[in-house]
Amino acid sequence: MFLRLTTGIKGYGMRGLAAALLLMGATFVAAQDAQLDSVLDGWLGKEFTVQSSTLNENMPIGGKLTFIFDSSDNVVRVCTRSVSNQRSQWKMDFANPCGVTMTFTRGTRFCTMEDVKAGNAEVLSSCHRLRSHDVAMRPAKVKGTIELNDMIAFLINGNDGHKYMSILIDSPARVTEEGGAVVKH
């Protein structure tokens, strides 16, 4: 079979085979990007509003977030925007408008709000999600230091036709942070 393939490239030999394989590889990568776009389509490039938050100092109610895919770094950038009616200002890494990056993990389904509230790790591991490590959200309790947190954002298709994310904060210093935030488009 290998001989037939290389002789079928009309005299170009291994260079022709390499070119054909490169073309197939580029097609495969493009197909992977298309899959990423199809899952994230309703969440990327749209402005979300923080609807509820028990983390008001980190995720101020009324604050605006837009999730943008940066193909050059293969990350989703979280771009924040302050509005006059939000409860407090964005702080630390979120004060830099697109300073937080998240990576996408494809699950087998979209979570529901009930899934996130139940907190079953096995169920949540099957959901589409974004994750970020080492996000500075507030100063640590020890003066002069910064506490770094991990964020997980579960993608939720609402029953009302809206797109939501349930954002949970994990603090290595505290094992888990109390509460979370829900954003809506």
Residues 91 and 138 in one domain: yes
Which residue type does 87 have?
A: R
| CA–CA gap between residue 150 and residue 171 (Å, rounded) | 6
My answer on whether 54 and 110 are in the same domain is yes
Q: Are 41 and 61 in contact (CB under 8 A)?
A: no
123 and 179 assigned to the same domain? yes
Shared domain for 67 and 103, answered yes or no, is yes
Element (H, E) at 161: none
The token pair at 148 is: 């770094």
63 and 32 housed in the same domain: no
| Beta pairing partners, 100 | 78
Q: Do 120 and 46 fall into the same domain?
A: yes
What pLDDT score was predicted for residue 91? 83
Question: In residues, how long is the chain?
Answer: 185
Domain count, the chain: 2
Measured CA to CA, the distance from residue 75 to residue 40 in angstroms comes to 12
In this predicted structure, what is the pLDDT of residue 180? 60
Degrees, nearest 5: CA angle 126-147-149 = 10
- One domain for residues 26 and 100: no
161 and 71 housed in the same domain = yes
Q: Is 174 helix (H, G, I), strand (E, B) or coil?
A: coil
Residues 48 and 126 in one domain: yes
Do residue 34 and residue 46 come from a single domain? Answer: no
Check whether residue 46 and residue 100 sit in a common domain: yes
pLDDT at 95: 87
- Domain hosting residue 67, numbered range: 42-184
At residue 101, φ and ψ (nearest 5 deg) are -115, 145
Mean pLDDT by 10 residues, the chain (185 residues): 31 38 38 57 88 76 91 90 87 86 92 87 90 79 78 89 85 50 57
Do 53 and 25 have their domain in common?
no
